[in-house]
Amino acid sequence: MEEYMSAIALLPATIRAAAQTLPQRLRGRAEEIRMRVGQPLTVLAENEEHILPADRPFRIQPLDLEQMVEAATRGSVHTALENIRSGFLTVRGGHRIGLCGTAVVKEGEICNLRHLSSLCLRIARQIPGAADDILPRLLDNGRLPNTMIVSPPGLGKTTLLRDMVRQLSDGRDGRSPVRVGLVDERSEIAACYMGQPQLDVGAHTDVLDGCAKAKGMMWLLRGLSPDVLAVDEVTTPEDVASMIQASHCGVRLLCTLHAEVEDDLLRRPLYKSLLPMFQKCVMIEGDRRARVLRILDLSNR
Amino acid sequence: MIQILGAILVTASTTAVGLAAVQRLGARVTLLSGLVHALEYMQTEIYFNLTPLPVILEHLSQTAAAPLKSFFTRSASYMDKLGDCSFSSLWQCAIQECRNDFQGAEAQLLADMGSMLGKYDAEAQCRAIAYARARVEALLENAEKEKARQGKVYGVLGVMCGLVIVIILI
């Protein structure tokens, strides 16, 4: 409910008024607010897009999208151009705006968008306590072994990673806090806005926001001497090479990876050189409604 | 006695008018010089730190001298309306409300520059600011020349006018 209200505060006045007509019972379950030029405003909740206002829907105008982006970037596109090129913006409150329109392509790369056609405001939610059950089972004499969190998309890898980072950083149940270096390339974990994490990642976490993981890990190692180095979605050979290098520096690693099942993880060529560096793997299986967390011991493989 | 008092009053009044004209020339030099510094600061912050415009305006509202201070304070306070109004319209509003402080030339320069701010990448914005700064520097140079040339004239003219009026009346 609170997250929904903080998200709609980012909308232009007329759209905000329409968004306020969402029934109270759905506000806590709203996941996305969608604005498409020429179409009515919709809110995704309970796997269904609800048209708002339900009794007298109106069509979104191009100017509405422009004003939304202008407000999101605080009238300063230059601060967010890198993010716009990646297709999204992180805004106050940790919410994310996905962008769509006519791509401006230079030298094969999207360098901007003109004529915005649709926006998707994803409402940021954190689940404090998501790692309550799993973290104590991972610790070895109070220390985190090198751990990877693996699942298909949409099962909560990032949510689990964020809460593990928070709990390690704050320390709890008699554990001392540890320094966590977090490379948040896509601003998904801490959702930094104006340098301040919008989601709780703990009091002893240093967040390097918007930096490529491979470079970011080395940056944090050199300057911030973390006890634990955390990154989301290791996807490139450069990321893997940096993780291997970091593992030789006495730092503990915590990362997430995409893989459908255990075999998928073990078979992928990209991960082959990475697996020997890790002792534990948390597999998230099932579906959104019934997730199952399973710990694999990688040290004997 | 009354004649002497009247002569002093007349001379003092015309001298004050002359000095006010000198002060106006000086104030314009101060305004343009402050504007050059402000534009330089904006350009540096955008180019090197990609600082958001509201943060730049907030800083300038605290550091700029009057009358620029009031312009930047207004601009910064309007940034809360982003989302409901565009940056360039808010910028225009601030210029309009401070039109007594600006002459036509610099108001137009600021308005033109405002239409480029916040919409493009740092380089494009810096080019627009650099262009405006060069034009303001030219205005400053003219204002300094005018101050040097006319300043003394206005001062002397004020005193002389007073004396002439006194001589005629006596």
Closest by Cα among A188, A135, A140 to A166: A135
The model's pLDDT over B85-132, given as tens digits with 9 standing for 90+, comes to 889 999 999 999 998 888 888 999 999 999 999 888 899 999 999 999
Q: Which residue has the tokens 């470079």?
A: A215
Q: What is the DSSP string of B57-120?
A: HHHHHHHSPTTHHHHHHHHHHHGGGBTTB-HHHHHHHHHHHTTTTS-HHHHHHHHHHHTTTTTS
For the full predicted model, state whether its pTM sits above 0.80: no
Closest-CA distance, B120 to chain A, in angstroms, reads 6
Q: Which residues of A touch B125 (CB under 8 A)?
A: 78
A78 vs B82, B84, B122: nearest CB: B122
Residue of B nearest to A9 (CA): B83
How far apart are the two ends of chain A, measured CA to CA in Å? Answer: 45
Closest by Cα among B36, B29, B31 to B134: B36
A45 is written with which tokens?
């909740």
Residue type, A45: A
Q: Which residue has the tokens 């340098």?
A: A195
B105 is written with which tokens?
């030339």
Q: By the 8 A CB rule, do A87 and A98 touch? A: yes
* Cis omega (within 30 of 0) for bond into B67: yes
Q: Could you give the ipTM of this predicted complex?
A: 0.76
pLDDT score at A120: 94
Cβ-defined contact of A75 to B52 (cutoff 8 Å) = yes
Give me the residues of chain A with pLDDT under 50, please.
none
pLDDT score at A301: 67
Those residues whose C-beta lies under 8 Å from the C-beta of residue B125, and which sit 6 or more positions away, are: A78, B46, B116, B117, B118, B119
For residue A38, give the 3-state DSSP assignment.
Answer: coil
Buried b (16+ CB within 10 A) or exposed e, B2-14: eeeeebeebbeeb
How far apart are the two ends of chain B, measured CA to CA in Å? Answer: 13
Around A27, how many Cα atoms within 13 Å sit in the side-chain half-sphere? 15
Residue of A nearest to B82 (CA): A71
Largest pairwise CA distance in chain A? 62
What is the DSSP-derived secondary structure letter of residue B22? H
B82 vs A75, A77, A79: nearest CB: A75
Substitution target in A76, A112, A114 with the highest count of B β-carbons within 10 Å is: A76
Q: Which residues of B touch A66 (CB under 8 A)?
A: 86
Q: By the 8 A CB rule, do A101 and A116 touch? A: yes
pLDDT score at A83: 79
In degrees and rounded to multiples of 5, residue A300 shows phi and psi of -95, 5
β-pairing verdict for A280-286 and A291-297 = antiparallel
pLDDT score at A160: 95
The pLDDT averaged over each successive group of 10 residues in chain B (170 residues) is 83 85 86 95 95 95 92 94 88 92 89 92 94 96 90 80 83
